[in-house]
Structures are given as structure tokens and as C-alpha cells.
Chain A
Amino acid sequence: MDLAFSDDDLAFREDVRTFVAENLPEDIAESARRGRPISKPDIQRWQRILYDQGWAAPAWPAEYGGTGWDATKRYIFDEVMAEFDTPETIPFGLLMVGPLIYTFGNDAQKARFLPTILTGEEWWCQGYSEPGAGSDLASLQTKAVRDGDNYVVNGTKTWNSSAHIADWVFCLVRTSNEGKQQEGISFLLIDMTTPGIDPKPIISIDGAHHLNMTYYTDVKVPVENRIGEENKGWTYAKFLLGHERISISEVGLSKQRLRRLKTIAAEERSHGESLIEDPTFAGKIAAAEVRLISHEYLNLRLLAEEAAGRPIGAEASLLKIRGTEIRQELTELTIEALGYYTAPFEMEQLSDRWNEPAIGPDYAAAQMPQFLFSRAATIYGGSNEVQRNIIAKMVLGL
């Protein structure tokens, strides 16, 4: 057991810091600091900068355009990214479907899809949940019927983040009703411009459009866009859910949020002092920080195991549960810190077009929307109730 970074690691950290300091566009960093939603072109701009440096995909193997870094370097990289308020990685391409394609895809699929995920040119979204299949994902009903060299897809997917700005969707479809529900599912990659795909916005409680309900009517998908074998999609889906759960655990992002919370609490006043001097509030921040540290070390342990060749299995659910609880705790403490200035809800303040002075402190506007949307974190990627069932069954054998 050893926590110390080697000289090589420390030099690497300095390299990453220098690179980010010199290359992160100031306007993007400013938006991230203010908690403004970062636009697709801005995220692509930053992704391209990382790509040109060879750092587009820290966790991918070198042969597919990844860095080939070990767990320590990936950890250091994430730390530095959080330190500099770089934009959040959009998970669907780089963290989810990318690893799925290089693990289970054929050579043609790897050659077609991996390069544009790395550069950020093509955006992905996820087609998993359906109105009737949420926690019980395997009961999904969207049908794909074979017709020559195509599948014809019909059905409805929901809670599709970014579907309205994505170029491709990875989709779970039913190709058979024989046997167990899990045994009739296939995994398709679908071009969002195919006729018959119609994403409709779902406005969420933060007043924003992140989510969509997507209707599929006679959508033709070439059979060559199926990942792996027909009816084996559930196996791939589970692999991907594991990756999703690890990515949701968001240690770096929570560290960013903790830092912002402390800045805000230092700025806010209570009884003539800084709020961060208030023993009750300081205690709550400390408690959240302690939980975050234990979460971080659990993360590190599991990453080290993975690096040693023992893939993360159902333990990913531990990370998902605790990571999302911490995220909610931090966003909730942040709105608490703001007192009455959580109330103003002028959505325009978060847009690039807003050039009036802020209502109240300039860090206030983004916090309530973030608190509200963070309520989804314990629901998506498999609700935390389902994650606890998985741990009970798969880890504890209950």
C-alpha cells in the first residue's frame, strides 16, 4: 500500500497543470465557474484542444486513441481538470458507448465511430428507458424487426439527455420475445438523422431542456450497426451501465462543487460574520467533505483493482449511490448558503445574452437550477433503490 506519488507522477501533474493553464479558453472557464450551461460548440472546442494534445480519452487504451495512462495518472488528470473548472465531460460518447465499441464492436465499427468520439465531432445520446421501463429496464418494448439488411425500429424512448443535439443514439431494442426478457434484447447504433426519429423536449423542474422523449416510427437501421450478437444486448448494456455508474460517481465534479460552496459560504454573511465561520454551517460543510474523502478513497481502491486486472462489477453501485448522494448534499448546502438569494429564478441570467448586473451575488443564479437538476442523480443510471438491491443480491448474496 502506498499513497505517495512518484517523481514521474508529480512531473506529470505539473505538465497537465501547465497545459490546462495555457490552453483552457478563458470564456469557457468563466462559464464553468459561474455554473452556466456550457454550449455544445464550447465543449467541442475544449475537446478538440485535448484531442490535439492526445488527451481526449484518458481511460481508453492507447491503441484506440486513448492515453494508455495508469490509474494514478488518470486520477491526477481528473484532479487537475477539476482544479481548473474545465467543462464536465459529456459521458455518452467518451465514457459510455466508446468503451462499449472498442470492447464489443467489430473492426469496421471501431474505425467508423471511435475517431469522431475522440475529436468530439459526433455527439451521442442514450436510448435505454421507456415510459413503461424505468427501473425495470429489461421489460423494454421498443421493437426491432429484421427486414433484409435492416432492422425496422418502432417504439418510444424517454429521459434521453441531449437527444435534441446528438448525432447518434445507442439504443436497446427488443428483437425477440422468446425466453427471459433479458434474452431478447439487442444493441443498435442509430443515426439521429434517420427518417422516423422524433425527439420531443421534456422540460425539467429546473426550467431547462436537457431531456427528451424520442419516438421511433419505422426507423431503418442497417444490421451492420448492431453491436455484437443479436439478442445478447443485455450483456453489453450491463457493461455500459457499470461504466455509467462509475462516471456518475463524479469525484472531480464534487470537489469542484465543494470548492465553490466554500467560496460562496466565505462570501455570504450571517450575524455580521462570514457564513463559513458559523459553527453549524461549517460543521455541515465538514461533514460533506469527510463523506467526499471516503468516497474518493473507495473510488481509488476500485480503480486500482481494475488496473490490476479485476474489473469493477456490482461494486460500481456503491460508487453510484454515494457519489450521487454527495452531489445532492453539496448542491443543497449551496442553496442553503445563499439564503433568500436562492429565490430569484430569472433563467435568462444563465444565457450568454444576459449583460445586465446579476440579481444578488453573481454566483447565485446557477445554484438553484443545479440543486433542482441534481435531484435526478439518485434516479438516473438506475435509481439508488435499484442500486441497493443490486448490492444486496450481487455483493452480499442476500
Chain B
Amino acid sequence: MDFSLSEEQQMLKDSVQRFVRDEYELEARRKLVASDIGYSEANWAKMAELGWLALSLPEEYGGIGGNAVDTMVLMEEFGRGLVVEPYMTSIIIGGGFLMAGGSAAQKTVLLPKLAAGELKLAFAYAERQSRFDLNDVECKAEKSGDGYTITGHKGVVFHAATADKIIVSARTSGGSRDEDGITLFLVDNNCSGLTRRDYPTVDGLRASEVEMDGVTVGADAVLGSVGGGAALMEEVVGLAIAAICAEAVGCMDVLQETTNEYLKTRVQFGVPLSKFQVLQHRMVDMFMECEQARSMCYMVNLKVGDEDPVERAKSVSAAKVQIGNSGRFVGQQSVQLHGGMGMTDELHVGHYFKRLTMIDTMFGNKDHHLKRYADL
């Protein structure tokens, strides 16, 4: 058993740390978040140049062939920087779908572009009624000629505005919550019949409401098997959860370290706040949550490639529950212990807190995954 990083992983970690230090000062991030597209194309190009976009993609298609632990190393540092580029939607989810379900033609055409930073993808799955159930799909795709016509609404599609293609889950058969009958489609963002309403999100990202009114796609737009989208989504969302757990660990570490430091320097009643036992214990609890979250993050990233789907799903849900609980405690207590300062937009603490709050919601919150774990 070995939980240490390889030499390559350590180099990757150092390199992402340098990037975050150089590009993600709080003020620089604030500018990115307020910019037109909400992130930096220059950063994206740099990520391509440094091989980070290729990291998890297969070697035969221009990738590096890294595993989940490599991605974990990168995502943890992205979490520390609150990086806003669409890595999760494009590379982990978009790339994940292409690798897991793409045809030879789709892989050959799209994966090298993805690795080179020339293609961005988004994933449209949530609907107004679906909450966290990936299989609750009312959006319809009907056979028309050789292809399909897609009609329906997708909500809160992260980074849709700047994606070239959106991966859409739509029902080709079955009732609205059936596992069978969901098909995934690669839909061009600028195709006719698709309208978007773009907006900023509370954690500094961008998302859109996507309306499809008779969007026509060819048969070659189908990703994976017709009607077999559920299993594919489960697999890829599992990868996304493993990655977002690492991002959360990075966020929590920053909050824990900053709060620890703040208590040592903030003097009230003639002593540093760190001298109050009740606050010491709170810090200890925060530290414990961070370590537990990190342990679960290692666990899920080591197991997310497991052959056994039940084992894999249990690991994913267990980790998401832990990250949700730990992130909630660490985020809320960091604001509390910073007092009024924690409530200001000026300080970085609130931004990490907001991201951790959203991370719990992403891909199903702690209650959703606890129930899923219990049902497995």
C-alpha cells in the first residue's frame, strides 16, 4: 500500500501550484470572473501547452493517458486556486464521455482537438423536474430520417456558452424516469433550434438554460449506444465526482490554513483568538474534516476505475457524502471564525465557502448520495 505521489505526479503538482500562484491571485481571479466569457482563453492555451488538457486522455488520440490519481493531483491544486476554466466540463466530463462511449470516428476527430485546446464541451443533463436523478429525462429525441430531432429544456448547463459542442441526454424511448431509453447526443452549440440563456453562478462560474426546439442531428451525433445512456452517464459522472472531491479538498485546505493563521493573529480581549479553547477545538474539528475528506478523496480516486460497477458506485457516493459534510463544516466555520471579515466579498474566504456549497450540490448532494449508498 502506498499513498505517496510518484515523481511525475509531484512535478505536476509543483507545476499547477506555480500556475495558480502566477495566475490566480484573488484580484486576478476577480477580473476573470467578471470578464465576458468568465475565464481566460490564455490560461486555457497554457493548460494545453503544459499538457494538462491531455492528461486524462488516451495516448493514441493525442493524450497522455494519465489515471484518476493524476487528475486528482491537478484538481486539488485547481481547488486551492478556485480555478474557473472549464476543465471539469470539457476534459473530465466531455473527454470522459468520448473515451467511454465515443465511436472510433468521434474519438479520432474530437479527442486530439480536446487535448490541444481547440475544442470545448459541456454536458446538459439537469432538467427542471429531475433534481439529482440523471435518469429523470423528459427531453425527447425522435427518429427523423437518418438522424434525430431533439426537443426539450436543460437547466444549469455549466460552461455551455463557450462550448463548441454540448453533450445532451435525451429520451429516445421509455417513460420519463426509466433507466433504459436515454441516449446521449453531441449537439453543436450554434445549431439551429438551440437557444441559450447565459448567466453567472454563485461560485464564479458560468452556466446556461438551454432550450432545444426541434434541433436536428445526424446518426453520427449519437454518443454511445442508442438507449444506453444511463450506464455511460453513471460512469462519467463517477469520474467527475472523484475529480470534484479533489477540488473540494484543495478548497478546504486553504480555508483551514487561513483560518488557523487568522486566529493566531487576531487579538481580542488582549489575547490572540487562538488562545480560546472553544476556538481551538473548532479548529481541530476543521482539521479533522479536512483529513477525512482527503482520505475519502484518495479512496475514490483509487477505486473509480474499478471493474465492479457496484463497488465503484459505492465508493463514489461514499466520497461525495464525506466531501459534502466536510465541505459544509469547513466552509461555514471558516466564515464564522473570521467574523465580519468572513462575510466580505473582499476576502477570499467567502469565495471558497461559496464554491464548497456548490460542490455539495454538484452531481447530487450528501442526502442524495447517502440514499444511493444505502440502496446499493
**Chain A residues engaging chain B, CB cutoff 8 angstroms:** 129, 132-136, 139, 158-159, 202-205, 207, 211, 268-272, 275, 280-281, 335-336, 339-346, 359-361, 368, 371-373, 375-376, 378-380, 383, 385, 388
**Judging by beta carbons under 8 Å apart, are B354 and A383 in contact?**
no
Given A339-B361, A385-B278, A135 and B336 contact (CB-CB distance below 8 Å): no
**Chain B residues engaging chain A, CB cutoff 8 angstroms:** 126, 128-133, 136, 155-156, 176-177, 197, 199-203, 207, 209, 267-270, 276, 278-279, 332, 335-336, 339-340, 342-346, 350-351, 353-354, 357-358, 361, 365, 367, 370-371
Given A159-B340, A376-B343, A345 and B199 contact (CB-CB distance below 8 Å): yes
**Judging by beta carbons under 8 Å apart, are A204 and B201 in contact?**
no
The CA of A385 and the CA of B342, in the complex, are separated in Å by 15
B207: chain A residues at CB < 8 Å are 343-344
Shortest distance from the beta carbon of B220 to any chain A beta carbon, whole Å: 30
Shortest distance from the beta carbon of B180 to any chain A beta carbon, whole Å: 16
B156: chain A residues at CB < 8 Å are 340-341, 343-344, 360
A211: chain B residues at CB < 8 Å are 340, 343-344
A339: chain B residues at CB < 8 Å are 126, 131-132, 361, 365
**Interface SS, B side:** mixed
Shortest distance from the beta carbon of A388 to any chain B beta carbon, whole Å: 7
**Judging by beta carbons under 8 Å apart, are B209 and A359 in contact?**
yes
Chain A: CB-nearest residue to B201: A343
The CA of A272 and the CA of B197, in the complex, are separated in Å by 26
Shortest distance from the beta carbon of A281 to any chain B beta carbon, whole Å: 7
Chain A: CB-nearest residue to B366: A336
**Judging by beta carbons under 8 Å apart, are A345 and B201 in contact?**
yes
**Judging by beta carbons under 8 Å apart, are A340 and B343 in contact?**
no
Shortest distance from the beta carbon of A125 to any chain B beta carbon, whole Å: 15
**Interface SS, A side:** mixed
**Judging by beta carbons under 8 Å apart, are A205 and B201 in contact?**
no
Chain A: CB-nearest residue to B345: A203
**Judging by beta carbons under 8 Å apart, are B343 and A344 in contact?**
no
B358: chain A residues at CB < 8 Å are 342-343
Partner of A346, one of B126, B199, B269: B199
Chain A: CB-nearest residue to B266: A134
**Judging by beta carbons under 8 Å apart, are B199 and A344 in contact?**
yes
20 contacts between A and B (CB under 8 A): A202-B344, A204-B343, A204-B344, A204-B350, A205-B343, A205-B354, A211-B343, A269-B130, A270-B132, A335-B357, A336-B365, A336-B367, A339-B361, A340-B126, A343-B156, A344-B201, A346-B200, A360-B209, A373-B343, A385-B276
**Judging by beta carbons under 8 Å apart, are A281 and B367 in contact?**
yes
**Judging by beta carbons under 8 Å apart, are B344 and A158 in contact?**
no
A270: chain B residues at CB < 8 Å are 131-133
Given A205-B344, A269-B131, A280 and B201 contact (CB-CB distance below 8 Å): no
**Judging by beta carbons under 8 Å apart, are A388 and B278 in contact?**
yes
The CA of A205 and the CA of B340, in the complex, are separated in Å by 11
Q: Which interface residue of A132, A203, A270, A339 has the most chain B CB atoms within 10 A?
A: A339
B155: chain A residues at CB < 8 Å are 340-341, 360
Chain B: CB-nearest residue to A383: B339
**Judging by beta carbons under 8 Å apart, are A269 and B361 in contact?**
no
